[in-house]
Structure 1
Amino acid sequence: MFAGRKFAAFLFDMDGTLINSIASAERVWSDWARRQGLDVAAFLPTIHGVRAIETIAGLALPGVDPAYEADLLLKAEAADLDGIVQIAGAAAFLNSLPPERWAIVTSAPRELALLRMVAAGIPVPSVLVAAEDVSRGKPAPDCFRLGANRLGFDARDCLVFEDAPAGIAAAEAAEAAVMVINATHQHPQSTQHAAIAGYDMIGITIDERGWIALEPQRSAA
């Protein structure tokens, strides 16, 4: 698992990576999809890891304003926080990191991201890159490059924690290393990257420069 490699900082996606918000998100999006006459079962897999405005715009529905609908969805998701929980070991792992060495980079709007972090008991980072901070969302690399830059580093020296194909593609485009989180996947996805089911499987060591190395936890062996 990245044997011998150290990273300047860690960049975390949020939904599906640090917290499990699938039930809440899918309740809200299912209602919206039904109102639009969409096939809900076919549509739901497309919402994860992508900004709402881009998901809606990609549908090209006649008479639908993506910005207006995305705002309605934000309000609905902010009102539905039931069942949001952290991925196993996430809060403890984040609290073990130097605060200046990690950021959250999410496709969720800032307001919703903060509400979900509080609901799940996840610490709020000093650097949070949210949907409104970039003009191009995942799979474009802009968000991860911005997160790294705000921490004072190059994305190529960072490790990205992701769960969704769009986010993994964004991290790859930013030339960052990638750790895939499989906690919310019904079936672990096939990936060329290292993958874990939860943060209780890993620990860290920090060198004299503050760079971070991952190490497997013995209990996970």
Structure 2
Amino acid sequence: MTEGLLFPGRSFAAFLFDMDGTVLTSIASAERVWSRWAARHGLDVAAFLPTIHGVRTVETIARLGLPGVDPQAEADAIMQAEMVDVADVDPIAGAARFLASLPPECWAIVTSAPRKLAECRLAAAGLPLPPLMIAAEDVAHGKPAPDCFRLAADTLGVSADACLVFEDAPAGIAAAEAADAAVVVITATHTKVVESRHPARANYENLAVLFEPDGRLTLMSVA
């Protein structure tokens, strides 16, 4: 039956997952750290906070063009603060079960977070380290550039257009689209509607994987 398939007639060589907002939520932690940083630099905190999600810290800081600010040094300091503040980092509902159902050679996490911070947040959320992680330092250009998803696909030995990307943020969705990957939008942490042409699900509780005879993956919505 096709009514339970999110992409009828299509299967995938691999699933690629963003981390923050997609398999876990770290919004409260990140926004506490960034709020203090923004206030110290005289920024409008409320206006600034929505710009931090889904992109690399160093690029967020660099595009501000603040005089006398070293983006890499500030990014390193923010990372250290975020690694300390993980008390309320939690998994997205159903994520642990869903990830555990996947063969290790068929999935990866592709995050804008530095590797050390990503590993810290996954541990805080009670999620295992993935078989493959592409982190901020692995690419020259972060999301919305497609480099990270292309690198993940290449490392898994598949093409990016054969992958399904799970994302939550506009920058990540744009990166997946630029890589010619299919996209599912996870909306668990959304406070407003993100306009997108892609299927959306609140979490993983009603998602399952059908394994095709050739080893490819089909995403199903289950009751």
Taking structure 1 as the reference length, what is the TM-score of the superposition?
0.97
Q: 2:152 aligns with which of 147, 152, 155?
A: 147
Aligned position for 2:124: 119
Q: Which amino acid is the alignment partner of residue 121 of structure 1?
A: G
Q: Deviations over 1:15-37 (max 9, x none)?
A: 00000000000000000000000
Q: Is it true that 1:207 corresponds to 2:209 in the alignment? A: no
CA shift for structure 1 position 190:
2.2
Question: After TM superposition, what 4+ stretches of structure 1 lie above 6 angstroms from structure 2?
Answer: none
Q: Is it true that 1:197 corresponds to 2:202 in the alignment? A: yes
CA shift for structure 1 position 115:
0.5
Over aligned residues, Cα RMSD in angstroms? 0.6
Q: 2:49 aligns with which of 44, 64, 69?
A: 44
Q: Which amino acid is the alignment partner of residue 41 of structure 1?
A: A
Aligned position for 2:33: 28
- Counterparts of 1:190 and 1:123 in 2: how far apart (Å)? 31
Q: Which amino acid is the alignment partner of residue 160 of structure 1?
A: V
Aligned position for 1:5: 10
Query: Taking every aligned residue pair, what percent have the same amino acid on both sides?
Result: 63
Q: Deviations over 1:116-156 (max 9, x none)?
A: 00110112111100000001000000000001111111110
User: What are the residue-to-residue correspondences of 1:114-193 with 2, within 5 Å?
Assistant: 114-193=119-198
Q: Is it true that 1:16 corresponds to 2:45 in the alignment? A: no
CA shift for structure 1 position 187:
2.5
- Structure 1 unaligned blocks of 5 or more: none
CA shift for structure 1 position 188:
3.2
- Counterparts of 2:32 and 2:26 in 1: how far apart (Å)? 10
Q: Which amino acid is the alignment partner of residue 188 of structure 1?
A: V
Q: Which amino acid is the alignment partner of residue 12 of structure 2?
A: F
Q: Is it true that 1:80 corresponds to 2:85 in the alignment? A: yes
User: What are the residue-to-residue correspondences of 1:52-131 with 2, within 5 Å?
Assistant: 52-131=57-136
Q: Which amino acid is the alignment partner of residue 175 of structure 2?
A: A
- Counterparts of 2:183 and 2:127 in 1: how far apart (Å)? 21
Aligned residues: 218
- Structure 2 unaligned blocks of 5 or more: 1-5
Q: Which amino acid is the alignment partner of residue 192 of structure 1?
A: R
Taking structure 2 as the reference length, what is the TM-score of the superposition?
0.97
Q: Which amino acid is the alignment partner of residue 36 of structure 1?
A: H
CA shift for structure 1 position 191:
1.2
- Counterparts of 1:189 and 1:107 in 2: how far apart (Å)? 19
Partner SS for 2:205: helix
Q: Which amino acid is the alignment partner of residue 43 of structure 2?
A: L
**Kept after mapping to 1: 8 A contact 2:170/2:194:** no
